[in-house]
A and B are shown apart, each in its own frame.
Chain A
Amino acid sequence: MNQASQMMTGNLAAAWGARLADVDYVPAFPITPQTEIVETLSKWCAGGELNARFVTLDSEHSMMTAAGAASATGARVFTATSSQGLLHAFEVLYTVAGWRVPFVLVNVSRALASPITLEPDHNDVLAARDSGFLQIHAETCQEVVDSILMAYRIAEDPRVCLPVMVNLDGFVLSFTREPVVLPEPAMVHEFLPPFRPAHLGFKASAPHALGTAVVGGSIYTYFRHQIHLASMNGLAVYDEAAAAFERICGRRYAAIDGYRLDDAEDVLVMTNASASKGKAAVDAAREEGRRVGLLRLRLIRPWPAEAIRDALQGRRAVAVLDQNLAPGQGGILFQEIAACLYHEALRPRALCSFIGGLGGKNLSEGEFRAIFEQTAEAGVRGKGIGPVLLYTEAEHREMQQMQYLAHELKTGR
């Protein structure tokens, strides 16, 4: 067993996930910060390291359609996109979920236009939360490759048969190298049996139709509800996959990841790569005597409500740091956390909503300190706060300088 690690970016780890899963078909369209994934796969397909058909399409809309269609033939399919690309494919996300085609899509998070930018936040991936895709959000490069393998096993399970999205943050993971251990092909083989879907297998000799038209609502209701049930089955299937992965590869990924929760009075909830910084902030706060912990949400769809309730009930205060903003509402995950705690007799005394890291804005030590201080105060008061925007006086002064350049500074002509 070769457990030697190597330095690799999140993007390279994602490409390795597809390679180890021995995918058959990769429809592709480039977009920053995802491009390195499909570039790497194209090189491997050309060089014979990966025995798959690599096809570049004219857009993400076509790419996602091709992914669904190829999956419907019984091929194992991988594709990747980011941000505007995911949104360009939006119509098709819902469509292929209804086909119940179990392929894996990697999304490299990047904030959405306008204004246009390159750096990450989660409005892109969370916009797709109601599509029927399952969603796993990764914190480390290691998790990226491991999650892709888990995603195939979960997606292809007959109790689920839905596409799965694996999310990684642009820049902070996609372009960041850190040590990664690649699972041995034999381990992957044991963990991920060959794909043999019962309801798929389109062939010219055996035509059938998927996603046929229905009218009247009741038929639609039945099928749409089937997608919901399939997704909910994903909870148990996920846990089984996590247990099998741990047995075979030695690394465990629960649906939620608790950090120093045991005696924590106040808990910060986060997702994705910035949760690493949150954990460092927890360590720093603990050194100053604050009893705080962090809950990272890894499985976002299906929503592991039971596990979240268990982790958060009885706490003094809970802060949700949303790296997204739903205009006219607030933080997306805050709403879901609040909803699943409402019926709990031992629900936290205060729920606090923070919006931060938008457009890749750095989550600073000072901001984490502000979160812990304000959350503790809210817990003592017994009344939640928010949404609180993580944006500083100093940043606003710079913003005003930019506005001067954009609107007031004249060229002298």
Chain B
Amino acid sequence: MLSIRFHGRGGQGAKTASRIVGTAAFLEGFTAQDSPIYGAERRGAPVAAFTRIAKKPIRERGLIARPDLVVVADASLIGDPSARVLDGVDERTVLFVNSPLTPDQLRARTSVSGRLTVLDLTDLALKQFGKRGAISALLGAVAGRLAGLRPESIREAIVRELTDLGLTAPVIERNQALAMQCFEAVQPVTLEPGPRAPVPSAQLRTPTYDPPTRGTAGITAGPNSAIRSVSGWRTFRPVLRPDLCNGCWLCFASCPEGAITIKPDGKPAVYYPHCKGCLDCVEVCPTDAMTVEREPEGANK
């Protein structure tokens, strides 16, 4: 059995990528299983998805604890402990990271080591489509290539899954074409599936009774989410061009994170530590005063 774990941010297309690989494998006659896991829906929050491919019925379910391949849609996830990108990764696991950096640069700047292959899907998508969007087809094609699936089945799987999402034929064709470029461009690394060394027995621990002040789900520390930065979630950042801004405050009203404040001159200002990069403010801006810049890798921490 081949186990592929996808990590992305809500909205990037990790779930659809897992389905593209699942469908492609299924079309080639394998048994496939795919599933996503996410919390309360929040764009930009870490999500994971899992695809299993086998020749026999699959008895595993749910999260993949020891992946053969990890596909990382956004390099900023590597440094986010809640994303658990490196959980269960061993010397046999292959990592694909969507990043402009080289494997060596990534190894130097992040905690990844071992077997790594890299391609800047975000840049390809920007150049080809001229705007930011989900990169599910590209991720799916790369993962499919690394998993040894055939280009025809991946092309067909992309059509099926993107059609399922309600995308139009021209959009699907563009995605398909770029996905196949990525399929060719990614540097393949041979996967090494097969049984892993047995894990030891779990170290169980039964918690003891705590007083209700501690043993009840609740928060008493006050609003400390204010000191948590979500800067690392951004692939793109909104940047204001004050000369174009008409002061309508639509961006202020639509920011889901409350990251935009209004200055005394009536113009908005983005507080970047609380900006997750969803770009809703850019979408609503009637004068294109909110512009988009790609975050340089590693600079937005």
Q: B264 — which chain A residues lie within 8 A by C-beta?
A: none
CA–CA, A7 and B53, complex, Å: 13
Known A276-B59, A279-B59, A392-B203; contact A114-B217, beta-carbon cutoff 8 A: yes
Any B CB within 8 A of the CB of A362: yes
Within 8 A of A (CB), among B143-170: none
- B31: chain A residues at CB < 8 Å are 178-179
Q: A283 contacts the other chain (Cβ, under 8 Å)?
A: yes
Q: Does A185 contact B (CB under 8 A)?
A: no
Which of the segments A195-203, A305-313, A366-374 contacts the partner chain? A366-374
Which residues on A sit within 8 Å (CB–CB) of B205?
391-393, 395-396
Given contacts A175-B35, A178-B32, A273-B61, whether A365 and B204 have CB atoms under 8 Å apart is no
Considering the chains assembled together, what is the distance between the CA atoms of A399 and B206 in angstroms?
13
Tell me if B37 and A369 are in contact (CB < 8 A): no
CB-based nearest B residue for A280:
B59
> B19 is contacted by which of A177, A274, A365, A403 (Cβ under 8 Å)?
A177
- The stretch from A143-151, A330-338, A404-412 touching chain B is A404-412
Complexed CA–CA distance, A176 and B19 (Å)? 10
Q: What chain B residues lie within 8 Å of A373 (beta carbons)?
A: 201
* Pair B62/A409 contact, Cβ less than 8 Å: no
Q: Is A389 an interface residue (CB 8 A)?
A: yes
B231 at the binding interface (Cβ < 8 Å): no
Contact in complex: A367, B59 (CB < 8 Å): no
CA distance A273 to B226 in the complex (A): 40
B216, chain A: closest CB distance, angstroms: 8
A343 contacts B by Cβ under 8 Å: no
Q: Say how far B294's CB is from chain A's closest CB, in angstroms.
A: 31
CB <8 Å contact, B198 and A409: no
Q: A178 touching B58 by the CB < 8 A rule?
A: yes
Q: Which single residue of chain A is at the shortest CB-CB distance from B1?
A: A280
Name the one of B22, B199, B213, B217 contacting A115, with C-beta atoms under 8 angstroms: B217
Q: Is A392 touching B34 in the complex (CB atoms < 8 A)?
A: no
Convert B204-217 into 0s and 1s, putting 1 for each residue whose CB lies closer than 8 angstroms to a CB of A: 11110000011001
Q: Which residues of chain A come closer than 8 Å to B65, judged between CB atoms?
A: 362, 364-365
B36 contacts A410, C-beta separation under 8 Å? no
Question: Once the chains bind, are B227 and A370 in contact (CB under 8 Å)?
Answer: no
The answer to whether A411 touches B60 (Cβ under 8 A) is: no
Shortest Cβ distance from residue A175 to the other chain B in the assembled complex, whole angstroms = 6
Q: Which residues of A contact B76 (CB under 8 A)?
A: none
Q: With A and B bound together, what is the CA distance between A390 and B207 in angstroms?
A: 11
Given contacts A366-B201, A369-B201, whether A277 and B59 have CB atoms under 8 Å apart is yes
Closest to A390 in B: B204
Q: How far is the CB of A366 from chain B (nearest CB, A)?
A: 4
Q: Which residues of A contact B223 (CB under 8 A)?
A: 411
| Residue B219 is within 8 A (CB to CB) of chain A in the complex | yes
Task: Output the least CB separation between B161 and chain A (Å).
Answer: 10
**Is there an interface contact between B227 and A118, defined as CB atoms closer than 8 Å?**
no
Whether B222 and A411, one on each chain, are in contact in the complex, defined by CB atoms closer than 8 angstroms, is yes
Inter-chain contact A7/B61, CB cutoff 8 Å: no
Shortest CB-to-CB span from B31 to chain A, Å, is: 6
B31, B199, B226: most-surrounded residue (chain A CB, <10 A): B199
Residues of B that sit less than 8 Å from A by CB? 19, 22-23, 26, 31-37, 39-40, 58-63, 65, 198-207, 213-214, 217-224, 226-227
Pairs A–B under 8 Å by Cβ, sample size 11: A171-B37, A175-B35, A177-B35, A178-B58, A179-B32, A365-B198, A366-B201, A370-B201, A392-B205, A411-B226, A411-B227
Since A362-B65, A409-B221, A411-B222 are in contact, a sample of 19 more A-B pairs with Cβ atoms closer than 8 Å, ordered by chain A residue number, is A7-B26, A171-B37, A171-B62, A172-B62, A274-B61, A276-B59, A280-B60, A362-B62, A365-B199, A369-B202, A370-B201, A388-B204, A390-B204, A391-B205, A392-B202, A392-B204, A396-B207, A409-B224, A411-B223
